[in-house]
Structure 1
Amino acid sequence: MANQSIARQVLLWQLALVLLLVAAGSGVAVHAVRRSGEQTARERALDVARTLARAPGLAEAATAADPTARLQPIAERIRKENGVDFVVVMSVDGTRFTHPDPTRIGRTFLGHIDAAAQGRTSTETYTGSLGPSVRAVVPVIGPAGRPVALVSVGVTNHRVDALVGQDVPLVLAVAAAALAVACAASMAVHHRLRRQTLGLGPVELRRVYEHHDAVLHAVREGLIVVDSAGLLVLANDEAVRLLALPPAPEGRHVGTLGLDGTLADTLTAGRTVTDEIHLCNTRALAVNISPTGRDDRMVATFRDHTELRALVGELDQVKGFAEALRASAHETGNRLHTIVALIELGRGAEAIRFATGELAAAQDLADELTAAVHEPALAALLFGKHAQAAERGVQLTVTGGPATDHDGPGPLDAFASRFEPRDLVTVLGNLVDNAIDAAVSAPPPRTVRVTVGADPDAADGGLLLRVADSGPGIDEPLAARVFERGWSTKEPYGSQDRGLGLALVRATVARHAGTVDVARGDTGGAVFTVRLPALPAQPTLPDRPALPAQRPGEEA
């Protein structure tokens, strides 16, 4: 039986239980009908006996010289009219005056008559001359108020059985109907359970559950199931980790789980999604959503693309450096040709001055960046951005605040000692890339100014990052939208996602309890200002959840 399906086992157990209950109920019903029949026969016998005992002239007839001649016809008529088996009128000592079998008249009545002889009514089931019967014995009271005769009326068990037999078919019919209904209901449950369990047995179901549970918890891809009402039905361990879900998220609406607004809207939209990138907390997730085909539920899977996008960002940086090196090589070739020509013309001193001047300019730029920015990663980033900006015809200048005017550690050093430099690279790299693009889109002169130093408005010190450009600027109505994921003024480029860079900046700054804002500069361009606290603070998230680290160069 263990190899049978759960649906079949349930059906067999239900049928067995139904048969047992119907049989027990039928037995109880037949027993109740029999008891009811016996009670009816007892009441009928008692009513007939009382009626006859109280009949006028019965006491006088019972005390006459020949009571049988007067009472036998009356007794037989009453017996036949009332459907009883015997009506016996007897003396107080039990001698029969009447009987259905005339040969038994004059003999002693078989049964208990002591109570009736004392003036009381009694009923009993007793085996007499006609067999077992339900009988009643009633005294006939004479003029002196004492019993002068007794009347016994009885119904044999055969007649009771006949009366009960009339009701048994009805009981059996009801039992058969109940059995049929119960069997039909059991079959319906069987078919439904078979569909729901796919006809599997308990061993197979346990194996499927164990495999499902093992895969669900071991797979390195987040998976959630959302019903048609937007309620979370299931989330595996990886989904809880990637989405930073709260404890016991099942049964809650996805809009209350702290997800990014666009991600929550996508999960409840009821549409199929393929490899759509969404930002959630500190991660970039590739989201796939498809319907389950049952109950209008949607299955969503999540893959972490944060590190992949970080690698893509590094690749973009390498490409930028390569382009800068290409431009530098081109310029260096021109300068070498100039130096060689000066030497060939016999102007060696001028050649030396020209060569040393170029070296001094490069060294001055490196010294300037190192003095303005103490963090090596940031200095290297800005050095590369300077070359990219120069190639695109943009003048990039870097200045330091008060904290960088001396040799001691400043806010940047304190911040870099507590956090990974890539956070600063993410913030400043994205802002500078956007600033260069904005400056290129405007008429000359094209400039980008970067300020890194202490925040003069912070009482306890802090880090200030400010990037200003000479571009067209950002209109006031759009200033509140530039940090939204997906918002961008640029056309899509292939499969590259737009509108991630500034959303990433906002998320990174929020994770360190800082602020970022944008305003229009004095010359009309955009000015982005980032303020980061000097001391660790409880992070405050923006209106939408924080976004993952992303490559520099993603733009709004």
Structure 2
Amino acid sequence: MSDHFLDSGTASAAANEPAPLSRDGWSLALLIFIGQMLVMLLLVSGLGFAAYQQQNKVILADRQSTVAAITVTLANDPFVGSALSSKNPTEQLQPYVQKVLDRAESVDFITIMTPDAIRVTHPDPSQIGKKYIGSTAQALAGQTYNEQATGTLGNSVRTIAPVYRDGQLVGMVSSGFTMHNLQLIYRSELPQILLFSALALLLAGFTSWLFSRYVNQATLGFGPAGLRRLYAFYFSALHSVQEGLVLLDRRHRIVLYNQEAARLLRLPEQVPAEGLDPGQTAMPETLAELMRTGRSCKDEIHLGMDTVLSVSQSPARLSNAKLPRRGRARWHWFGTAPLTGQVLTLKDLTEVQELAGEVRSLKTFSTALRAQTHEHANRLHTIAALIENGRADEALEFAVDDRQHSQQLTDAIVHSIDDVYLSSLLVAKAAQAHERGVRLDITAHGTVPNDVFHATDLVTIVGNLLDNALDVSVGTAEATVWVEVSVLDNELMILVADSGPGIEPEFLENLLRLGVSTKEGVLPRGLGLALVQQAVLRLGGTISVDNDAGAIFTVSLPMAA
């Protein structure tokens, strides 16, 4: 399911990389970048315009206050009042006003006039002696007045104040600045605002580019339509596979699983938004430990409550071919692709167990028949040779003795164990052990009713334990396997011991729990012990293992109807 996104480390050659999925339309990262840039452009433009307007208001207020201060100062200057009372005020006031204009950069003009609004000073000497254009009523009434009007110098902002001498109105003073020069001042401030706006836009663009670059890596260059289609495909594939599939993040928390995994591990139907801790579920502790450690494994046998599971786990990494070019080079420098979590697959071996039990039973019986056929042929040859040599009495005695010995063994087992499958299995195993040079010592006490246990379960338990015991007893000095089947207080006890080397202490703890094998690389024995443990748990029994020269397996099964 995850071949396009997850690289579990099994395929390292570039030739084995899966073909990339088609990416139609603009990527999600590009759409986010464009959207962010449009928002930032509108925001920066709005803020720049607002800053420009605010700056204009500040400059206008500052100029107005400056002009008002100069106007009031001139109106209260005794020299101005004295000059206006003289016969030729222009000769005295025009040079004086020019000096003030040269020093006061915030003022464009200063006009001093008589009470009848006749100019005695003006920046344009040709306007001297002409009538003042503007409002004078407020000044004649003794008030200082601000206005914006169009005069000889164009549209301007001015302040008019009355001039008094000895309590008598002797004239008026008007000073101000033109709107043309004010606009020039406004425009001189514009580059600074544009510069800060451009820097803000550049910073926002760089931040947006970094974020969209991360989004592009996270989404592998797909657009919204591609991600939606990809989600639909992979979600359907996740829940259509027959195996259980569990996805874990880098914190080893379960973030996604399909319905089969939920059934096998008894997980909730929906994954919580914050993920699921393996230790908080009803899954076996061995599986929870495997998920928490994150170690890799392949076809490892684990026991569920009522199932035998084959488990594989591998790290999930972004395939190198799916990384963006720059990201690919960066991770190539570090030698590995980014780890995104781990993938765990589960195979239910319950049906395989049942089939394997039946096949194992048939194989056991066929092996026993083959051994008995081989043994019977040897005995027939012996009998035939005795008859050919004229020793018919000895041949008859040999045949009767052999028949009685075999019949005694069969009768002892069948009469002691009232279960046709278990008794047949032990008879067959006795023949198989005899062929392999191992003595099978069978002890039976009590009666096992034939309606208590399923035949497959008993064959699975006893057959697997005997197979393991025969394997390790072949070639040993004593070469003996002991089997004891007894019924005590409505409980079936099965004990299987061997003369082998025993089980090493480090294997005792996990031998039955994980179904591991004491022989490296021998999976069938590990699976066989796992099947034994699963069958015992299903029947509500217990199993224990111990060492006493050889291994001793003890199984206790309650005989509830």
**1:132 is aligned to 2:155:** yes
Matches within 5 A, 1:258-277: 258=283, 261=286, 264-265=289-290, 268=293, 275-277=298-300
Q: Unaligned 5+ residue runs, structure 2?
A: 1-23, 320-336
The CA deviation string for residues 285-335 of structure 1, in whole angstroms up to 9 with x for no partner, is 152636534312465453626244654554444333222102222344456
In the comparison of the two structures, how many residue pairs are matched?
510
Q: Separation in 2 of the partners of 1:245 and 1:76?
A: 94
Structure-2 residue corresponding to 1:323: 367
- Percent identity reads 33
Q: Which amino acid aligns with 1:87?
A: I
The CA deviation string for residues 148-172 of structure 1, in whole angstroms up to 9 with x for no partner, is 5432211010110121122122223
Structure-1 residue corresponding to 2:439: 394
Structure-1 residue corresponding to 2:57: 35
**1:287 is aligned to 2:312:** yes
Instruction: Give the drift of 1:262.
Output: 7.8
Structure-1 residue corresponding to 2:483: 449
Structure-1 residue corresponding to 2:3: none
Structure-2 residue corresponding to 1:471: 499
Say if 2:303 and 2:513, in contact at 8 Å, map to a contact too.
Answer: no
Distance 1:222 1:117, change over 3 A: farther
Distance 1:9 1:300, change over 3 A: closer
Say if 1:343 and 1:351, in contact at 8 Å, map to a contact too.
Answer: no
TM-score in terms of structure 1 length? 0.74
Distance 1:299 1:156, change over 3 A: same
Distance 1:35 1:355, change over 3 A: same
Say if 1:227 and 1:296, in contact at 8 Å, map to a contact too.
Answer: no
Q: Which amino acid aligns with 2:183?
A: D
**1:382 is aligned to 2:426:** yes
**1:515 is aligned to 2:552:** no
Structure-1 residue corresponding to 2:188: 166
SS of the aligned residue for 1:483 comes to: helix
Q: Separation in 2 of the partners of 1:471 and 1:164?
A: 105
Say if 2:302 and 2:513, in contact at 8 Å, map to a contact too.
Answer: no
Q: Of 101, 105, 110, which aligns to 2:133? A: 110
Distance 1:103 1:224, change over 3 A: same
Instruction: Give the drift of 1:468.
Output: 4.2
**1:304 is aligned to 2:347:** yes
**1:483 is aligned to 2:505:** no
Q: Of 527, 530, 551, which aligns to 2:555? A: 530
Structure-2 residue corresponding to 1:205: 227
Structure-2 residue corresponding to 1:552: none
**1:429 is aligned to 2:463:** yes
Say if 1:88 and 1:98, in contact at 8 Å, map to a contact too.
Answer: yes
Distance 1:286 1:318, change over 3 A: farther
Moved more, 350-359 or 183-192: 350-359
Q: Separation in 2 of the partners of 1:97 and 1:119?
A: 20
Distance 1:263 1:492, change over 3 A: farther
Q: Unaligned 5+ residue runs, structure 1?
A: 457-461, 537-556
Instruction: Give the drift of 1:117.
Output: 4.3
Structure-2 residue corresponding to 1:54: 76
Q: Separation in 1 of the partners of 2:366 and 2:464?
A: 19
Q: Separation in 2 of the partners of 1:76 and 1:163?
A: 22
Say if 1:374 and 1:413, in contact at 8 Å, map to a contact too.
Answer: no
Q: Separation in 2 of the partners of 1:61 and 1:156?
A: 27
Q: Which amino acid aligns with 1:509?
A: V
Q: Separation in 2 of the partners of 1:109 and 1:376?
A: 135
Say if 1:466 and 1:527, in contact at 8 Å, map to a contact too.
Answer: no
Say if 2:365 and 2:425, in contact at 8 Å, map to a contact too.
Answer: no
Distance 1:175 1:464, change over 3 A: same
Matches within 5 A, 1:216-227: 216-227=238-249
Q: Separation in 2 of the partners of 1:58 and 1:453?
A: 135
Instruction: Give the drift of 1:48.
Output: 1.1
Q: Which amino acid aligns with 2:302?
A: L
Say if 1:452 and 1:465, in contact at 8 Å, map to a contact too.
Answer: yes
Q: Which amino acid aligns with 1:53?
A: A
Q: Which amino acid aligns with 1:295?
A: P
Q: Separation in 1 of the partners of 2:81 and 2:160?
A: 15
Instruction: Give the drift of 1:507.
Output: 4.3
Q: Separation in 1 of the partners of 2:559 and 2:140?
A: 117
Q: Separation in 2 of the partners of 1:203 and 1:487?
A: 48
